[in-house]
Amino acid sequence: MEVASKPLSNSSNVVVGANSGSANGFTTRASSINRALDQIGDKWCLLILQEVFWGVNTFTPMLQGTGASKGVLSDRLLWLQNIDCLRKDCSARHPVYHLTKKSIELYQNGLMAMVWERTYFSSPELDKVELVHNGCGKAFWPVMQCSSCDDAVRSKDIQFSPGLGAGVDQRVTKTRRRSSTTSDNQNHSKTLYNNLINLLGDRWTANLVALAFHGLKRFDEFHQELPVATNILADRLKLLINEGIFSQQPYQHSPLRYEYHLTDKGRDLFPYFVTLLSWGNKHCSTGAGDPMALTHNPCGNPLKAQVRCNQCFDVLVATEVHFKL
Ligand SMILES: [Zn+2]
Ligand SMILES: [Zn+2]
């Protein structure tokens, strides 16, 4: 499928003053999702956290599990320690990496990733894995519900408005973290949500999906909010179409221009982003308050989304869930 390869003709004007930034940076609307993505949204960080959630927490098994090179794994382990998402315990013969209070709270994000993965991808290994809730002793499926009215949380029921911390964030174009293009994690037997990571482990791709939840549809709208190079945007939009997250619909015929709409598969990523947003609000705050306020329209209350067990409806925490093969 063809994606508009360049922005609309008036696009030279869309990079407004606030977005001009420096050569290595730019500003975007303040967003807890972006802040969270800039900290842990890198593919390697997500793969490492997935391993640790699974209970793999020493270097060599992590190498095998993630498919990262030694250099990249060392680099990301250091980064995750620097941002207080891993704690290194050197008392044993091989250092052990533990989750911290901050990263344990990404667990709900991992559960929502797993739900999406199981909905859209079938793998013999993953399909065998059963989640057991220690609280009720039952095999369960995680569901996201509004804490006020207990309804399922759906993207169409949410209203976004500027929060106390609304403003802009200064961001860097390139992170100083080194990257690597090789990954053979596809063959890893314990993958919980590798397809999601391969898709969203690129922050621009993840940013585009997040923006689509705010109702953005057109190339120049995306570019105004995310002023990265237009070829990068076009490339990521194409990827999202090929992966069935966006569908392309013409809105203008001469010249032909398309809007990008979330498909059902794309919309079902909403709980993943909601957990990322909550985590970002709590752990990546600048102190100015939440940048965005979410209202749950069915009950009219500020949205507090909880990930719960679908058997007993208790809120799920990392220490009360185990995996059974
Ligand atoms: Zn509600
Ligand atoms: Zn339960």
The rounded percent of the chain whose pLDDT value lies above 90 is: 76
Q: How far is the CA of 98 from the centre of ligand 1 (A)?
A: 35
* Residue 121 is assigned to a structural domain of this protein: yes
Contact predicate 200/244, CB 8 Å: no
* Residue 300 is assigned to a structural domain of this protein: yes
CA distance 246 to 94: 44
Q: What spatial distance separates the first Cα and last Cα of the chain, rounded to whole Å?
A: 40
CA distance 3 to 47: 30
Q: How far is the CA of 293 from the centre of ligand 1 (A)?
A: 14
Ligand showing the shortest atom-to-Cα distance for residue 295:
1
In this predicted structure, what is the pLDDT of residue 172? Answer: 80
Q: How far is the CA of 247 from the centre of ligand 2 (A)?
A: 36
CA distance 301 to 296: 6
Q: Which domain holds residue 107?
A: 27-177+186-324
DSSP H/E element including 48: helix 43-54
Low pLDDT (below 70) residues in the chain: 1-23, 174-190
Q: How far is the CA of 306 from the centre of ligand 2 (A)?
A: 14
Q: How far is the CA of 79 from the centre of ligand 1 (A)?
A: 37
Which CATH number is 170's domain given? 1.10.10.10
DSSP H/E element including 60: helix 59-66
* Residue 19 is assigned to a structural domain of this protein: no
- pLDDT tens-digit map of 119-162: 999 888 778 889 999 999 999 999 999 999 999 999 999 999 99
Q: How many domains, the chain? A: 1
* Residue 12 is assigned to a structural domain of this protein: no
- pLDDT tens-digit map of 218-232: 999 999 999 889 999
* Residue 2 is assigned to a structural domain of this protein: no
